[in-house]
Every structure is written in C-alpha cells, then in structure tokens.
Amino acid sequence: MYVTSAFVLVLGGLFAGATTDSAGQTFDSYTKAYHAAAEGKRPMLVILNPPADQVAADNAIDVDKLREDLDISKLLDSYVVAEIDTGTDHGRKVHELFGSTQLPRVVVIDNEQKNQIYRTSDHLETVKLKEVLETYQDGTPTAVSTNLNWARQYVQPGNCPNCRRYQQYQQYQ
C-alpha cells in the first residue's frame, strides 16, 4: 500500500511537471504556447514559417536546428517557443492576426503576453538571433537608443504652423 501511494505521488508529480514546464518544448499551436507562457509568466518566441510544402530549406527557421547550438538552446529555454506553419488552417489564422506579409517572421512577446517587444521578417544570422534572445530573455522591452547628435547645426524650420510661430517668436527675441 505504501509503495503504491508513493508511486502514484511521484507519477502525479511527473505529469504535473510536464504540463507546467515548457522549457525545451516547441509548440506548433500559438494558443497552447500562449497559455503556457501566461501560466509561467515567460516571454514567447513566435516563429511564423512559410507553408512547409512551399518553402525552400534555407527560408524556414527550424527550432530543432537552432537547439543544436548549446548557447542558443540555453537562451531558448527561457522562452515559450511557438513554431507556426502558416500552411495549416491554424497557421493561416495566426499569420493573419500578426498582420505580417513577409515570411519567415520572428516575434518576441513580453512576459505578460500583451506586447510585441521585438519583431522582424529580416533574415537573422545566428549571431543576431542570439543577441535578440539575450536582449529579451527576461520578457521586458528595452529602451530604444535614439542616437541624437546634439552637436549638429540647427536647420531653419520649414513652413508649418508651429515653425511659423517659432520664427515669429525668434523675431521678438
């Protein structure tokens, strides 16, 4: 009786852990990934791939191949990963909701599943992808550098209402 109860508790713990821990798992359903991310309060990495029957091998982003790189694999473990084939009914709906025309598309969604904090359809080299994964792994947006050059010369304003007001203001100085 004691061994059976202990076995059931251990087995129950394994199944409970399997449903809540999505590290290392790649979802093919955005909905399932969304719920796993919301439950774990983790950021989502969404990869929208072109339809499998229409894609050349070099166009799609294969998460399994990315996981072969140990550094990237460790970074991916901090995300809930959704790899969506846009050739399926579900994939077409997700692709439509994201509103992206160009594929493949890489999107990072914050840990509250409210905002896209990174998105691109550009071809990402491994180094750039690693940089993106490192930057957003905590699920919070980063401050955007504006690279303002305060040393450049002031250019005379154009002919808009605010510019005309500024010019009038300058006349009385």
Tens-place pLDDT, residues 99-130: 877 889 999 999 999 999 999 988 888 899 99
Domains of the chain: 13-143 (3.40.30.10)
Q: Which of 10, 40, 9, 8 is nearest to 25 (CA)?
A: 40
pTM: 0.69
Instruction: State the pLDDT at residue 94.
Output: 93
SS3 81: strand
Mean pLDDT over 29-38 rounds to 95
Pairing between strand 80-85 and 44-49?
parallel
Lowest model confidence (mean pLDDT) among 13-22, 37-46, 134-143:
13-22
Which one has a higher pLDDT value, 144 or 74? 74
